[in-house]
Amino acid sequence: MRIVVAEDLYLLRDGMVRLIEAYGHEVVATATTGPETLAALLKWRPDVAVVDVRMPPTQSDEGLRAALAARREVPGLPVLILSQHVEQLYARELLADGAGGIGYFLKESVFDADQFMDALERVAAGGTAMDPAVIAKLFSSGSSNRLLEALTEREHAVLSLMAEGLSNAAIGQRLFLSESAISKYTTSMFGKLGISDDDTGNRRVLAVLTYLNNP
């Protein structure tokens, strides 16, 4: 894969570059500010980008905004966002176009090399990869959503793992169920969430978006 890494902290940026290259992928560009990130994403149009939320010059959300701007110019451009904190708004903004190819990971997760690289590859393939800590935080918010309330406890569990980006086979392994059983749960869940076969977007992404839009 051709990858752009946007991170202003030298040690973390250098560590990710070394890790990515150790797995046989190519880092085509690095960036240390929001404007540099946008320029690099539009120039290189990588297979996937790793982008820090907070970057210079203001250390607010320049990285996130650069990623959103790049996806407006290049629809579906795969981006894995890194953050130090769980920010539900960021995850929702990124998934709003329903195009997939989006991940949201906490920086501490980078230190689990296999988990990080697996997430990067799933995002590059057009899927989603949400940090389990992000999912846990959203589930513990105590909020409610009429559509989500219609799901059974098992369907909630399936949707939570789907938000992490797991396939039906991987979800089945986590829940000790067959892949066909997970397929039945997902079909039922899509129906309850009002996501039909006719939807042009990725049904799994749309389901995750409904999940993250839980007010």
Rounded to 5°, the CA angle 207-213-215 comes to 140
* Per-position pLDDT tens, the chain of length 215: 999 999 999 999 999 999 999 999 999 999 999 999 999 999 999 999 999 988 998 888 889 889 989 998 998 899 998 888 766 666 667 766 666 688 888 888 778 898 889 889 989 988 888 777 766 665 555 555 667 778 888 988 888 888 777 888 889 999 999 999 998 988 888 888 877 765 545 677 677 767 766 54
pTM of the model: 0.74
Report the distance separating Cα 140 and Cα 142, nearest Å.
5
Task: Give me the residue label for tokens 């392994």.
Answer: 173
Q: Please give the pLDDT value at position 122.
A: 87
| Domain architecture of the chain: domains with CATH | 2-140 (3.40.50.2300), 143-213 (1.10.10.10)
Task: Give me the residue label for tokens 């880092």.
Answer: 27
Please report how the helices 168-175 and 179-192 are oriented relative to each other, as an axis angle in degrees rounded to 10: 110
